[in-house]
Amino acid sequence: MAELVLLLPAAMALSWIARRSIRTLTRRSMRRAQSDAGIWRVRLPRNVDADGQEQTRRRTRSDAAARKLGHLVTGCIFLGAMLIGLNIVGVDAVLVISSAGFLGLALALSGQEVIRNLITGTVALFEDRYAVGDEVILRVSGQDVEGTIDLVGAAAVRLRTAEGATWHAGHSSIECVTNLSQLPATNDIIVSTTDWANAEVDALDRLAAASNDAGLTGVIFLRDLDAHEHPSGTTTVKVKSNRSLSEPQIDRVKATLLGDMRP
């Protein structure tokens, strides 16, 4: 029985070490993201980033993800400890769960829902779908609710509506997110002024048609071009899209704007 007495303190110590390790690793990766395009990079800027909120949101996202992973690991540790404890006292864990009937079924279903919410919420943070302070429209069960996110919890997100009401939704129940705070990525494409004069008329239609073309998978362009001519004989065309473009993608967009579709 000595093993049983030591089991709970050991599980608590192991879960504490796991949570501390996860928090340290996520904060380290967040600090690395401040100098390069790491996992915590901001996918799209927000209209509050001009006030220096970008690093704050990165830190908030990483801390929230650390808490979620910590809860998940803690749950797995204590579940394993419970099964080991039952085995120590000579009780068949499978028999206990199966004999509990509806109670066991309810625990299994609720456990699945909690884990689904934890995983979905963590993925949402990695992808920067939403963060605290974002103005969003969330669709849950076909209903759209608009408001400001004031908490991204372990299993649910809390929204504050314009009327001041508090609205909660599990991460996995969110069907669609419209983030009103995220701004489109703006990419500067430099072309020859002479070439641009010849291609400008149909450039917008060609660009819109190029969304998700080979080499531009996942890129959606907004129908909003802004061109600035320079005395040097070049023109800067500002192209807005749902995400920043890589150098090869910029070359592809430049060819599309000028009507040259060769890769």
Q: pLDDT digits over 210-259, tens only?
A: 877 777 877 888 877 889 999 999 999 999 887 778 888 899 899 999 88
Judged against a pLDDT cut of 50, whether residue 62 lies above it is answered with yes
Do strands 156-160 and 174-179 pair parallel, antiparallel, or not at all (unpaired)? unpaired
Place of tokens 């009507």: 259
Q: pLDDT digits over 24-45, tens only?
A: 776 666 556 554 545 545 555 5
Judged against a pLDDT cut of 50, whether residue 172 lies above it is answered with yes
Place of tokens 């504490």: 16
Per the prediction, the chain carries an average pLDDT of: 77
Contact by Cβ (8 Å): 213, 241 = no
pLDDT band at 48 (very low <50, low <70, confident <90, very high): low
Q: pLDDT digits over 94-106, tens only?
A: 666 665 555 555 6
State how far the alpha carbon of 191 is from the alpha carbons of 16, 165, 237, 257, in Å: 57, 51, 8, 9
